[in-house]
Structure 1
Amino acid sequence: MPRAPNWPEEPAWRAGQFHTDPIPEGLNVSPRFPHLAFLGAQADLFDDAFRELPARPVSHVDGDPLLLRSLGLPTYTGDGQREAVRALLHLPPNETLIANLPTGSGKSLLAHLPPLLNPEGMLTLAIVPTVALALDQARRMQVLLRERFPHRAIPPLAYHAGLSQEERASIRGAIRTGDQPILFTSPESAIGSLRTWLEHAAAEGRLSHVVVDEAHLVTGWGNGFRPVFQLLPALVHSLRQHAADRPLRVVLASATLSAGTLFALRQLFGPPQSTYLVAAVHLRSEPRYAFQFSPSASDQRELILEAIRFAPRPFILYVTRPDEATTWLAHLREAGYARVAAFTGRTPSSERDQLLRAWAANKLDGMVATSAFGLGVDKNDVRTVLHATLPESLDRFYQEVGRGGRDGRASASLLVHTAQDIDQAKGMASEKLLRDDTAFERWTLMITHARPADGDDVYWVDLNRLPSHLVVNSEQSSLWNVRTLTLMARAGLIELVALRDGAGNGDETPVDLALASEAAVRILDANHRNPDAFSQRLAQARDAMLRTAEQGIRVMRHVARRDIEISQALTQTYSVIQGIWSPVVTCCGGCATHWDDRRTTGLYPPPHAGRLRRFATRDTGRIRHLGLPMASPRLLVVAVPDDGQFLTTCERLANHLASVVRPHAWLMEPSLKTRFGQRLRQLLRPLPRDDSFIDIVDARAPDAWTAGSDEVRVIFLDRVRPASFPQELWHSEAALDIVIVSKSLGDPDHEGRYFIDTTPYVASATFLERISS
């Protein structure tokens, strides 16, 4: 560029975020990614997001035959998805599976697989937090079902408020007749208009799975924005009662389970000993974090507007209160931004649907939002998440930051807060709770005038009942009655079963607390009318809630002040080591501490998920009735000649065992993987009832041969390796281990002798003759 009149001077080019290099003729000017000078060393916060830098390491593992058969997928996304799917298929039906897996690990597979594997007439219920997610999952499921069952008629798979009465009736009819393979719906619909139909399906043994997505909402938003999530444990309890001894598997899926949330879920859907956790958690490697304190609201506004001016699109600007969202939307409109909107808990349902469609179609560059926006809005390409507030907990902050970079590419996170934001967060963290005497008065009034409902110790209470000192009813009074019930539920005095409007004829459970005027409660403690016992239980619940809230704001403040590095704080928040083991693999995509090293701190080793420890029973009677010599009550050894037909004979054995025994697992060492593993997969792949998995076992691992209780396994030992029989198999907890060995396998206790010289066994030819007769 020339140095001449009417041409910008060098400072103007620099102010416009250009590189400049003086040369004799003038200036060499080149564009660069815009920087935020107020962030100092992190001024280039947006660079990686602009580049869409890949930020999520890939760690696929070999898939099982059923995965290829039902979905055409050759691999799992990692250990976590693999073990969650195996638990989904093989965990005893009276247990609850909790899948704690990070974003991008394929948790949706836990809802997609059952209808692809189930026979006709079986129903999978998938409860999701938003209509947008229900519709998106339904579209994906339609494709999968058509590919798997090209000649089967597929009904609508999403049930939501936008359907006509005729469409809703059609879906309810399909549930009744057994023509609904899977249904994606909200908790409001599941507990409201669908409940009777779901209970009927469970009673007839046609409800196979209940999958709850974003299960942390049961203990999180259930206190306010989505109270109906607190009713899901009661729904599951009712469905299990109706199912009686028929199998009904329950899955709770989430990407962020803190210790407190995990403890609560195990209690609510337990008992705890009947829950099983699959956890393979790593921190998000996509966000680049920056935190800035602002001395005033006006300064905060200028910094946020400067950031939005340069931020990679699409962006989300999070605030705490709906009125703040309205104010910020006005600021953006005044600044000239037209492709922006606001989404809060007060946004009407019809407007929400329009906003979500515009957001998904890239008709909006930015969204100003409260926590009401995000969950279930699975937009993969959000590049920037800004906070003009201080969230009341690190958990909320991490959830909202998690809206960015879901495609595995870098995103930017900027939080700018003021002293007023700190005060607001403290107020939310220490939310006003009812005094014992006030809560007891409200409860006594409600239960005294309650009406019995269907079910043991279940009553309908009127949320509009007024204490004696109040004359005029109000929405606020009803909310305090709901808070009374919520606190009592936390204290274990009652269980919330349902909410409805006063007339009892609403089609759905209300989303908004203000619309609920009746609640169904189950009495759990006979001392609920005793003031002393009531106060003691409430005090314990209140103290626990306050401690959790105070800890949340304390950690969030330390992170915002950079007293604690964020990946360290997140690891502490989401690691669970007491009572149940759920570690977190730490990484940091970039923060003030790791800014220069973010290319390496953003890497992480693949998280490991432990092998399933409890299995649904299999019928082993046919094998045991063959009268074969057993090496131990749970161990059958089949010896194969050590000749050129070893692998062919193993294949013949596997073919019969797959149909007669239906083992849970096939195990082999790495030396057999290339020579026999693929042949076994090809053999199992076309079998419609096969849900087994294949493990390649590292014999050097301490628990290499450890079995789960009631597991049925077929184990192939190589002709040469191992040189001796694994000692762990003598003490296996499996229901049955069928071990296929070569006749030349060495005896570990008698040098120079073969294993079959000292151990009861059956020759492969004899076994094949007996099992095929």
Structure 2
Amino acid sequence: MTSERASIDHDEILLGILGGSAEVDAPPFQDDLYARLAQVCREAESSDIDLAVLVRHLLRRWSLRDGRSVRVVTAASVSIRLRRFAATVDLREYPSNTWSATDWQPEWLDALGVPDAAAAAGTNSGRRFHGGELAADPFFEQSTGYASYRTPGQRAACRAVVSAPRGSTVVAMLPTGSGKTEVALCLADQHRFAVTLIVVPTVALAYDFERRFRDHYARRYPRADKASLHFAWTASTGEELRDRLRSRIRDGRQPILITSPESVSRALRSLLMDAAATGRLGGLVIDEAHLVTQWGRDFRPEFRTLAHLRDELLQQAIDAGHPRPTTLLLSATLGPYELRDLHALFGEPGPCTLVAANALRAEPDLWVAEANTGQQREEWVLEALAHLPRPAVLYVTSPDRAEEWFARLQRAGYRRLAVVTSRTSHEDRSRTLAGLRAIDSNASSVDLVVATSAFGLGIDYPHVRSVVHACLPETVDRWYQELGRGGRDGHASTALLLTAPGDRGEATTLVTKVLTDKTALKRWSDLWDHRQMLGDRAFVDLEGSRGSVTRGSYNHRWNAQLVQGLVELEALSRQPTDVEDRQELTDESGQHRDWMSIELRRADLRSMTFWSERWTPWQQAESERSKQALKMVVSLVSGSVPACEAIAQSYRPDAETYRRFGRAAEGVEPLAPCGRCPGCRQAGIVPPEDPPPRPAQVWPLPDDATPRLDDLAEAAGAQDGLVLLVTDDHSQVAHRLAQALIRRGVRHLAGPIGDPVQHQDWLFIDPLPIGPSDLTPCSSFVVYPPTSRVSSLWLSPRARLALREHAPPAFDVLLLARGATVGNRHPGRDLPALDALTALHVLGA
């Protein structure tokens, strides 16, 4: 977003375009709204209502920015177009083609705010997200090009992923907009001659990642041919490009490869095994890791097989004597159920670390209303879409409803419109995403997308302003994920949830249903009876049908759920299936098959006793969990539970989460109230100005991470690893001490150390002195300038060791001015201390 001061000239240029100034030759606007409006003004074939909505958006933005009703003069040709829909979008015309827009406050929403306040996005008053602007560590700036971290959570995750033991798992739970992509970049950069694999759920997201990484590496290496940079492996990737990617991975020249769980489990499996065996696999990243649970247990079982594949890759590396790849699981939405599941799948061999800095997002204003009829809800949706800022997404539950809404909006006159559902082809989905982009010289074609949950997952277009739900999401988590498409640029957005009678019935169809014991036994018998064998391995066809159930996605879903349930009940195990296996299993019927290799672990799956005694309790637990999730959404809509509290409850960690992840679980639950939902507005709660959460920097380190400082500790009379050094001249010794301590294995520096220090590996550097609560598991060197106050907590071993429960023994070296105190105690008199020059001698510097 451009600043208000820098955008003054652009304001004038845009006014000239609206006013029909022929001599105005607009530059490519970097502001999303300006770019859209300039384009629509110049396109004679564009829709008049699309133009009217964008003009309204501009007028509301400038009015909110200036604190008064702003008027704009348009050319006569523009005014003719606006008059057709002025009443629809609440534009008011004055003499001489002059227009203004009033705020939108419908009587069917609470009157305690302005639902279209997201129009202020792009101005100072519209900025909602305020990051910590923490100075970047050298490795982060080198890897990403950014001079600061976006949030403390991003800093903790990046530090963890570069310093955790090889082969470990890091689960990073960071809110949308916190910069999870950069965490993956830092992991990739630790392994310069190995590939880091990034697994994503959709083709659209794979290409969105590729675009971002292509831009990143083109900036980092200006001489590189940007068009030749390829990072995505999808079903549409041609064989020639696949061969090049294979070659680059084998040669250690492919830093990142983005692909799907299906490709990892099939076409890429052998290549990845070879890469692990030759030390060419640095990391495994699973983006949107909550889908391992939410999708992998149902209709995309390949998400689950990633855990087994990881085990095999780690073993390949161990057997060949190479370092094991590190696993990074990224998500903004992980409840206790998903966290337990990920720990069970990826926690062994450990260690498994959680970095959680969850927070209720500040960008969206939340609005909820229940319509009395479907017709009333339709009218409300049309009114909302005529007043809310663009771009916007309208979410519904089913593809049929999406296509109905698309046709209804076309009849209303909208043309900058697209629909994306599970039925949408990859090409059309890609065109929609490209059409949304209105900056960097792109000509946008889409302002409004009608979609189901299949759209938007992880898509990083930052300027979506409005998200409307014309449905009842079946879980709070689904609703919160989808409204999270808005405001990813840190500016205000609007989230509007509109329900109607009948929505609950539709949502109930999406509640997890589990086969009854009798039906499950029959379906299992059919799968097993039609198995095929390759050697001693058994394969079942998830597309296999039984009785009246036809082949296809719904049948596949039941079979995937059946197999997953049996895996969780330890009745069978899933085995890897590669592309060669599938080729051998191909038959001549022409029917689509989805073969999965399984191994029986029980001999009684033909017995009804197993299904009634083991399957039925599992079925009931699964169904009850899903029903409770829907019940919470219903409570949210009715107002009996504030929306922000419902969100917080969805992520609240339970005792098992604390048992598995310890203190790190404290960061899983976002803190309510939010001040931006109906319940908070009615209670008079204003939005808090809390800074982003600062998670404790707790994670394990490699066993050899203890620095070689026993001689210094002995000379200084150190107690519990605390080394106190004193000096009369910081400028003479601070930098020399830092270099000497780095050579001895210290990796965390804080305070003014003088000239920058260099190291071929990672370092953590804080420009200001830190206290014990800001320590990392690494040993530290903290410089306190003269007159600084030094916390007495440094003298508490419990405070210093709290973050190092699972790390090797650490030292903390403090450089103090002679005469300084720690609490009220004097180093050298009340506390053992060593002169800094003597310390340099001990360190061999």
Answer yes or no: same fold by TM over 0.5: yes
Q: Separation in 2 of the partners of 1:322 and 1:283? A: 30
8 A contact 1:637–1:740 mirrored in 2: yes
Over 3 Å counting, the alpha-carbon distance change for 1:560 and 1:427 in structure 2 is: same
8 A contact 1:192–1:507 mirrored in 2: no
2:211 corresponds to 1:139: yes
2:367 corresponds to 1:290: yes
8 A contact 2:707–2:746 mirrored in 1: no
Letter in 2 for 1:461: V
Q: How far does residue 336 in structure 1 lie from its aligned partner after superposition?
A: 2.1
Letter in 1 for 2:737: L
Q: Separation in 1 of the partners of 2:401 and 2:578? A: 30
Partner of 1:169: 243
**More off after superposition, 739-748 vs 349-358:** 739-748
Q: How far does residue 137 in structure 1 lie from its aligned partner after superposition?
A: 2.6
Partner of 2:115: 45
Partner of 2:571: 493
Over 3 Å counting, the alpha-carbon distance change for 1:740 and 1:411 in structure 2 is: closer
Partner of 2:514: 433
Partner of 1:3: none
- For 1:257, what is the secondary structure of its paired residue? coil
Over 3 Å counting, the alpha-carbon distance change for 1:292 and 1:148 in structure 2 is: closer
Partner of 1:664: 747
Partner of 1:6: none
2:469 corresponds to 1:390: no
For 1:162-201, what aligned pairs fall within 5 Å after superposition? 162-201=236-275
Q: Separation in 2 of the partners of 1:33 and 1:637? A: 62
**More off after superposition, 627-636 vs 411-420:** 627-636
Q: Separation in 2 of the partners of 1:473 and 1:594? A: 49
What is the number of residues matched between the two proteins? 726
2:631 corresponds to 1:557: no
1:149-191 CA-partner distances (Å, limit 9, x unpaired)? 5678885222223322100111012112211111122222222
Partner of 2:10: none
2:297 corresponds to 1:214: no
**More off after superposition, 374-383 vs 128-137:** 128-137
Partner of 2:315: 241
- For 1:97, what is the secondary structure of its paired residue? strand
- For 2:290, what is the secondary structure of its paired residue? helix
- For 1:276, what is the secondary structure of its paired residue? strand
Partner of 2:796: 728
Q: Separation in 1 of the partners of 2:102 and 2:392? A: 20
Letter in 2 for 1:49: A
Partner of 2:811: 737
Q: How far does residue 422 in structure 1 lie from its aligned partner after superposition?
A: 1.1
Partner of 1:5: none
Q: Separation in 1 of the partners of 2:397 and 2:355? A: 33
Letter in 1 for 2:542: L
8 A contact 2:518–2:611 mirrored in 1: no
Q: How far does residue 109 in structure 1 lie from its aligned partner after superposition?
A: 0.8
- For 1:252, what is the secondary structure of its paired residue? strand
Letter in 2 for 1:446: L
For 1:11-410, what aligned pairs fall within 5 Å after superposition? 17=90, 30-39=100-109, 41=111, 44-49=114-119, 53-119=126-192, 121-148=193-220, 155-224=229-298, 226-244=300-318, 246-271=323-348, 274-361=351-438, 362-410=444-492
Letter in 2 for 1:345: S
1:525-573 CA-partner distances (Å, limit 9, x unpaired)? 6766665345444234322321221111111111112221111111121
2:734 corresponds to 1:650: yes
Over 3 Å counting, the alpha-carbon distance change for 1:611 and 1:229 in structure 2 is: same
Q: Separation in 2 of the partners of 1:384 and 1:502? A: 47
1:462-508 CA-partner distances (Å, limit 9, x unpaired)? 335566x6798777555432231132234343444557899824999
8 A contact 1:588–1:598 mirrored in 2: no
Q: How far does residue 15 in structure 1 lie from its aligned partner after superposition?
A: 8.0
8 A contact 1:628–1:762 mirrored in 2: no
Q: How far does residue 373 in structure 1 lie from its aligned partner after superposition?
A: 0.5
8 A contact 1:286–1:411 mirrored in 2: yes
2:555 corresponds to 1:483: no
**More off after superposition, 266-275 vs 95-104:** 266-275
Q: How far does residue 610 in structure 1 lie from its aligned partner after superposition?
A: 0.8
Letter in 2 for 1:661: R
1:623-662 CA-partner distances (Å, limit 9, x unpaired)? 558996584697384745x333x4322321211222x223
For 1:463-482, what aligned pairs fall within 5 Å after superposition? 463=542, 477-482=555-560
- Length-normalised TM-score, structure 1: 0.83
RMSD: 3.9
Q: How far does residue 575 in structure 1 lie from its aligned partner after superposition?
A: 2.5
Q: Separation in 2 of the partners of 1:110 and 1:506? A: 40
Q: Separation in 1 of the partners of 2:99 and 2:781? A: 69
Q: How far does residue 440 in structure 1 lie from its aligned partner after superposition?
A: 3.0
Q: Separation in 2 of the partners of 1:16 and 1:762? A: 74
Q: Separation in 2 of the partners of 1:329 and 1:723? A: 62
Partner of 2:678: 592
- For 1:110, what is the secondary structure of its paired residue? helix
Letter in 2 for 1:97: V
8 A contact 2:636–2:643 mirrored in 1: yes
8 A contact 1:128–1:184 mirrored in 2: yes
Over 3 Å counting, the alpha-carbon distance change for 1:517 and 1:19 in structure 2 is: closer
1:231-281 CA-partner distances (Å, limit 9, x unpaired)? 322232222222227232111111111222222222221149732111111
Over 3 Å counting, the alpha-carbon distance change for 1:157 and 1:432 in structure 2 is: closer
Letter in 2 for 1:405: G
Partner of 1:461: 540
Q: Separation in 2 of the partners of 1:294 and 1:341? A: 25
2:689 corresponds to 1:607: no
Partner of 2:524: 443
- Length-normalised TM-score, structure 2: 0.76
Q: Separation in 2 of the partners of 1:208 and 1:655? A: 28
8 A contact 2:145–2:220 mirrored in 1: no
Partner of 1:714: 781
Letter in 1 for 2:236: G
- For 1:683, what is the secondary structure of its paired residue? coil
Q: Separation in 2 of the partners of 1:386 and 1:255? A: 20
Partner of 2:595: 518
Q: Separation in 1 of the partners of 2:172 and 2:827? A: 47
Letter in 1 for 2:163: H
8 A contact 2:790–2:821 mirrored in 1: no
8 A contact 1:215–1:252 mirrored in 2: yes
Over 3 Å counting, the alpha-carbon distance change for 1:287 and 1:478 in structure 2 is: closer
8 A contact 2:144–2:216 mirrored in 1: yes
8 A contact 1:155–1:180 mirrored in 2: no
Q: How far does residue 102 in structure 1 lie from its aligned partner after superposition?
A: 0.7
Over 3 Å counting, the alpha-carbon distance change for 1:452 and 1:619 in structure 2 is: farther
- For 1:234, what is the secondary structure of its paired residue? helix
Q: Separation in 2 of the partners of 1:451 and 1:62? A: 58
Over 3 Å counting, the alpha-carbon distance change for 1:498 and 1:543 in structure 2 is: farther
8 A contact 1:725–1:746 mirrored in 2: no
Q: How far does residue 76 in structure 1 lie from its aligned partner after superposition?
A: 1.3
8 A contact 1:343–1:373 mirrored in 2: yes
Partner of 2:497: 415
8 A contact 1:284–1:587 mirrored in 2: no
- For 1:403, what is the secondary structure of its paired residue? coil
Over 3 Å counting, the alpha-carbon distance change for 1:577 and 1:602 in structure 2 is: same
- For 1:103, what is the secondary structure of its paired residue? coil
**Alignment partner of 2:609 out of 507, 525, 532:** 532
